[in-house]
Structure 1
Amino acid sequence: MKLQLAALAAGLTFILMSAGGASAAAVCGEGTGQAATGEPIIIGAITGKTGPDDFSNSTRAAKAYFDCLNANGGIHGRPVQYMVEDDQWNPEIAAQLVAKLVDDQKAVLMVGNSSFVECGANADFYKKAGITVVAGVGVPRECFFASAIAPTNAGPRVSMLGAMGYALDQLGAKSVVCIGPNIPNVGSWSCDGVMLLAKEKGFPASTILIDQGSADSTSVMLQAASSNPDVIVLGMSKGSAVPLLVAAEEQGLNEKIKFVSAASAYDLSVPETIGPGWDGKFYVNMEFNDLEATTPDNQNWLAVMDQYGQKSDPRDTFAQAGYLAARIAEKALMSIDPANITRETAGKAVADIKGFKSDIFCAPWYFGADQPRHNANSTTRMAVSEGGKWKVVSDCAPSPDPELADIRAFEKSAGINQ
């Protein structure tokens, strides 16, 4: 299944600026230019800002969009009060924070969440509390196997398998080493998918799990190279992936082995940081559109970040995810009588979303009402580092992750993305 950007852009139902650059005015909500002054709508989020890496880009982008929305009439006159908490990459803190946001602050939705630990800590809580989560960046397996959580991103496993599929089809891969973070239901879950695909294709594969922030990059690279793989696939955050690539180049491995990565390394700063030694040799999966795409919604995301975000806020794939999560929440809330926005009505409105279109997505996003799990974003692109920038090298293609069989079956039965 290949989906063309033009078809998606033409189907946008949201009024967006024309593709003329991020300097044009950001468009949010009803575009009234009048600040919302009614009773605030409480929306919460949990992110991992302090810890091994700053993982708060999704919530920063969601906040920028909600600020833009509030400056343009809000939700039928009611502003969104967006409350973000930092779980510090600690499951116990994540559990304490969700109780604060949901029980004490009475949030009606959770939107833009981005954390390595909070889905595992809070999935059961969300279900019992009857609150729906439109996550920005789902990371551990629990983010994609919970009835109340629906991420906008593809997730590390689906993204990594998208990269591995490209390596098989385009790079002639016949052996692979998968490197992932030693975090429960993150690294092992993602690399297990690579191992399963390798088994199906009949080629050797192995896994290395490392502690982010404390692993010796040179030792890890030498260990990975010891089996002479055709491809090394990375599932690390940008802050951990770059040192691994630097160590690999120091050992000359960039001349012998192809390196591919999940979308976590897709950041505009990476190609220049790793340098020309990686030109045409480091490929990343893109869970969303090209960060610099001139398509309408992608340009609106950049305009929102420029006008309502901070200059220091990254313009990366995780920021795209948070922007999309906020837009989905907006669409759901706009469909409700503003005097009757509750946790129940907001959750139902999100569950009813079946075809949310944006040129940032490869395929329309849907919640999947009454489904036990959610992974609507499973069709992705690839890019390669070239001349200090990313060069898109593939059209949208479905991830070959065998674990998506139930998602594909549901989509077929519901007539979604066929």
Structure 2
Amino acid sequence: MPINLKGLALSLVLTLVSAFGAQAAASCGDNSGKPATGEPIVIGAITGKTGPDDFSNSTKAAKAYFDCLNANGGIKGRPVKYLVEDDQWNPEIAAQLAAKLVNDEKAVLMVGNSSFVECGANADFYKKSGILVVAGVGVPRECFFAENYAPTNAGPRVSMLGAMGYALDKLSAKSVVCIGPNIPNVGTWSCDGIIQIAKDKGLTAETILMDPGTADSTSTILQAAASKPDVIILGLPKGVTVPLLTAAEEQGLNQSIKFLSAASAYDLSVPGTIGAGWDGNFIVNMEFNDLEATTPDNQNWLAVMDQYGQKSDPRDTFAQAGYLSARIAEKALMTLDPGNITRETASAAVRQVKNFKSDIFCAPWYFGDGQSRHNANSTTRMAVSEGGKWKVVSDCAPSPDPELKDVRIFEKSAGLN
């Protein structure tokens, strides 16, 4: 009987497509494929979507994961009702929204929060209300110095000091300028760490704070370059960082000064946007794994985003953070009796998360029960812009931030990381 080569080739193609599709399927909940139909579990989040920059990528990813979870049995049959509010980068609005979600909507947890202002506005309120926050992206100092607030990201200070460590170890930097946002407990807090390390090593360091909404990129860059530093370290949102780099290239500074950044600039679109003039000259901290890593959980994050998110949702480091925060919440809630999921039981379950492993993290995440502050993610990588893409240039390394001393002591005493 003659072999139908055309038909065989088509069959092989279909088989490969089917296998690839099965491999790429998002994994969430019990993977039953059956929608959750029970009483919803209310989880809230506050993010800064409208303002100087859209900072809502974390909640977009958390929503995608919860949608995937709800399509696969939810929390033992109960779906998650995920309510996301926009604080518009306004502390007063952030406080009003927290009261709405906690008091009116009766949220049992806050998950995936990402904001420049809401930590400071709401940290005390969350503690008084007995609700825990598994944040996606903490920014101001209050996010990392609050009893009930535990971000999955490293934070701007730890991330910028990771970049500082790289500048010292790999670039032999002797002088540095730190540029941060003129936002309370963000820019000064982050740059102060760089200044302290530089002072301890006898190096030259300077801080420049800028208003993310109204700053003149060219004048800021010229001010930073005036002292002829070896490196300039940025700690700003992506939407502010890119114009600064454009201004720097227009002045020819991309060839004479190394520019580094916190993880806020680690986005797949950035290398192509800033162009070849920055190849090898723009180095960023990665609070998580390579965005295109082929490791299982990173691939699952991408699959979740593709199947349950929007095409326009960024696949960036903050989306990784939101995905992780949702998975941590899922892990905690899955330990509970589905008929007894309250704010009290949910909080108790999150407090018991001690060794949450994901290949997206450099080290396992934990809540730190009994601790007055949380910064479990403090081991990071670095990547450089090259050929329109990011190239990872370092292994996981602990941040040299001296402010982490108490965290390291706790981790050692608790046998963590």
TM-score, normalization by structure 1: 0.94
Aligned match of 1:15: none
- Within 2, Cα distance between the matches of 1:84 and 1:51? 16
Aligned match of 1:145: 145
Aligned match of 2:221: 221
- Within 2, Cα distance between the matches of 1:209 and 1:22? 49
Quick check: 1:43 aligned with 2:47? Answer: no
Matched position secondary structure for 2:82: strand
- Within 2, Cα distance between the matches of 1:21 and 1:366? 33
Ranges of 4+ aligned residues in structure 1 off by more than 4 Å: 19-23
Deviation at 1:44, TM superposition (A): 0.2
Aligned match of 1:128: 128
Aligned match of 1:394: 394
Aligned match of 1:32: 32
Quick check: 1:356 aligned with 2:391? Answer: no
Aligned match of 1:168: 168
Deviation at 1:23, TM superposition (A): 7.0
- Within 2, Cα distance between the matches of 1:84 and 1:268? 25
Alpha-carbon displacement from aligned partner over 1:285-307 (angstroms, at most 9, x marks no partner): 00000000000000000000000
Aligned match of 1:280: 280
- Within 1, Cα distance between the matches of 2:378 and 2:238? 21
- Within 2, Cα distance between the matches of 1:275 and 1:100? 44
Aligned match of 1:9: none
Aligned match of 1:300: 300
- Within 1, Cα distance between the matches of 2:21 and 2:35? 25
- Within 2, Cα distance between the matches of 1:150 and 1:368? 9
Question: Does structure 2 conserve the Cα–Cα contact (< 8 Å) formed by 1:132 and 1:347?
Answer: yes
Matched position secondary structure for 1:259: strand
Quick check: 1:242 aligned with 2:242? Answer: yes
Deviation at 1:22, TM superposition (A): 9.9
Question: Does structure 2 conserve the Cα–Cα contact (< 8 Å) formed by 1:291 and 1:316?
Answer: yes
Aligned match of 2:58: 58
- Within 2, Cα distance between the matches of 1:213 and 1:410? 38
Quick check: 1:317 aligned with 2:317? Answer: yes
Aligned match of 1:114: 114
- Within 2, Cα distance between the matches of 1:301 and 1:21? 15
Amino acid at match of 1:219: S
Matched position secondary structure for 1:381: strand
Gaps of 5+ in 1: 1-18
- Within 2, Cα distance between the matches of 1:121 and 1:20? 46
- Within 2, Cα distance between the matches of 1:172 and 1:195? 16
Alpha-carbon displacement from aligned partner over 1:18-44 (angstroms, at most 9, x marks no partner): x97997110001111000000000000
Aligned match of 1:77: 77
Matched position secondary structure for 1:273: helix
Alpha-carbon displacement from aligned partner over 1:308-332 (angstroms, at most 9, x marks no partner): 0001100000000000000000000
Cα 1:411–1:313 shift into 2, 3 Å: same
Amino acid at match of 2:288: F
Matched position secondary structure for 1:207: strand
- Within 2, Cα distance between the matches of 1:204 and 1:184? 24
TM-score, normalization by structure 2: 0.95
Aligned match of 1:339: 339
Aligned match of 2:6: none
Amino acid at match of 2:212: Q
- Within 1, Cα distance between the matches of 2:168 and 2:20? 37
- Within 1, Cα distance between the matches of 2:201 and 2:379? 21
Aligned match of 2:192: 192
Aligned match of 1:16: none
Matched position secondary structure for 1:283: strand
Matched position secondary structure for 1:146: coil
Deviation at 1:213, TM superposition (A): 2.5
Deviation at 1:199, TM superposition (A): 1.0
Alpha-carbon displacement from aligned partner over 1:194-213 (angstroms, at most 9, x marks no partner): 11111111101000000013
- Within 2, Cα distance between the matches of 1:22 and 1:320? 22
Quick check: 1:210 aligned with 2:179? Answer: no
Aligned match of 1:201: 201
Aligned match of 2:96: 96
Aligned match of 1:383: 383
Amino acid at match of 1:88: Q
Matched position secondary structure for 2:391: strand
- Within 2, Cα distance between the matches of 1:222 and 1:24? 47
Alpha-carbon displacement from aligned partner over 1:70-95 (angstroms, at most 9, x marks no partner): 00000000000000000000000000
- Within 1, Cα distance between the matches of 2:21 and 2:235? 32
Q: How many residues align?
A: 399
Alpha-carbon displacement from aligned partner over 1:96-124 (angstroms, at most 9, x marks no partner): 00000000000000000000000000000
Question: Cα RMSD over matched residues?
Answer: 1.1
Amino acid at match of 2:238: K
- Within 2, Cα distance between the matches of 1:155 and 1:197? 17
Tell which structure's C-alpha radius of gyration is larger: 2
Matched position secondary structure for 1:150: strand
Cα 1:73–1:181 shift into 2, 3 Å: same
Alpha-carbon displacement from aligned partner over 1:379-413 (angstroms, at most 9, x marks no partner): 00000000000000000000000100000000011
Gaps of 5+ in 2: 1-18
- Within 1, Cα distance between the matches of 2:365 and 2:130? 22
- Within 2, Cα distance between the matches of 1:288 and 1:181? 22
Aligned match of 2:3: none
- Within 2, Cα distance between the matches of 1:23 and 1:330? 22
- Within 2, Cα distance between the matches of 1:204 and 1:20? 53
Aligned match of 1:368: 368
Amino acid at match of 2:125: F
Cα 1:22–1:150 shift into 2, 3 Å: farther
- Within 1, Cα distance between the matches of 2:136 and 2:166? 25
- Within 2, Cα distance between the matches of 1:414 and 1:81? 34
